[in-house]
Amino acid sequence: MTRSDVLDLLLLAALWGASFLFMRIAAPAFGPVPMIELRVGIAALVLIPVLALSQGLALLRRHFAALAFVGLTNSALPFVLYAWAMLAVSGGFASIVNATSPLWAALVAFVWFKDRLSGAAIAGMLLGLLGVVVLAWNKASFSSGGSGWAILACLGATLSYGVAANFTKRFLSGVPALAIATGSQLFAALMLIPAAVLMWPASSPPASAWGAVILLAVGSTALAYFLYFRLIANVGPAKAIAVTFLIPAFGMFWGWAVIDERITLAMLLGCVVILAGTALSTGTLRWPPAGAAGAMRK
């Protein structure tokens, strides 16, 4: 990676880590669905002119059904689930759970497309599950005031990301990434309009909530997509996915620095275990190491 690529990676992780902070600030004022409608709608308005300049608008019509499904599974559904969860859990907590997304993607590929799971991938999934248990050990109560349902909502969102990733790979291969990003945001916005109108808050949200939504849409969605696609083009998807390992650090930092969220020992331990499981399942971390494996075969 060049210095420019590293800066892109760090900025992308900072923007996606900040998305949990922005949702935490705006969700109580707007409600989950109206907030996400604004997020995807504003992001679509930013991305559509960029796609038009690249003469790619025809792709939205050509791949209408597939882009609508990705809009549902990669934006509308997981964004709303996370926004609802933000009413009960901290942004740092949610950003750590988000790191399980690659684990779900591997599991969905195994169940849906019969992709082979290596022993390391299975071990990584089990380790990631253990990390979730550590993270949620004192929070997963389903009684009044508990966070159990919010934690399940976060996990449901990451599962939805896993479905979207596999669907995109199978059915939208070759479609420019900018078209997928624009189409997914546009169709997500269209899907959420009826519910957002019905659930729109009776009183006008404060300026701080509006500011958080605008930053969420423009910075953590539209600009973040641009940076992600540029990274993929410059260093390839395998290296670009390294952003997954940086998002929890930024998610916890922004929550602590801006709204004084607590960073607990369980969060730190859970984060380490989940990231180790993700690294193992994606091949970023190899076990046993190549040298040790070779020595054992001699």
What is the share, in percent, of the chain residues with pLDDT greater than 90?
A: 50
Q: Which residue has the higher pLDDT, 43 or 173?
A: 43
Residue 55 has pLDDT above 70, yes or no: yes
What pLDDT, on the 0 to 100 scale, is given for residue 140? Answer: 66
- The model's pLDDT over 250-259, given as tens digits with 9 standing for 90+, comes to 999 999 999 9
Average pLDDT over residues 10-18: 93
Q: How many residues does the chain have?
A: 298
Distances in Å between the Cα of 270 and the Cα atoms of 95, 143, 230, 263 are: 11, 23, 31, 11
Tell me what the mean pLDDT of segment 168-187 comes to.
Answer: 90
200-241 pLDDT, tens per residue? Answer: 999 999 999 999 999 999 999 999 888 887 787 777 665 676
Report how far residue 10's alpha carbon sits from residue 234's, in angstroms, rounded to the nearest whole number: 15
Average pLDDT over residues 178-190: 94
* Mean pLDDT computed over 171-195: 92
User: 31-55 burial string, b = 16+ CB within 10 Å, else e?
Assistant: bbbbbbbbbbbbbbebbbeebeeee
Task: State the pLDDT at residue 118.
Answer: 82
Residue range 8-21: average pLDDT?
92
Higher per-residue pLDDT: 80 or 9: 80
Whole-angstrom distance, CA of residue 196 vs CA of residue 276 = 38
Distance CA 39, CA 231 (A): 23
Q: What is the pLDDT of residue 40?
A: 97
Taking the chain, what is the end-to-end CA distance rounded to the nearest angstrom? 35
Q: What is the largest CA-CA distance in the chain?
A: 72
Query: Residues 13, 188: contact at Cβ < 8 Å?
Result: no
Residue 3: phi and psi, rounded to 5, are -60, -35
The pLDDT tens digits of the residues spanning 101-157 come to 888 888 888 898 888 888 888 888 888 888 888 887 777 667 776 788 999 999 999
Residue 280 tokens, joined: 């193992």
Instruction: Collect all residues with Cβ–Cβ distance below 8 Å to 146 and sequence separation of at least 6.
Output: 139, 140
Domain boundaries, the chain: 3-285
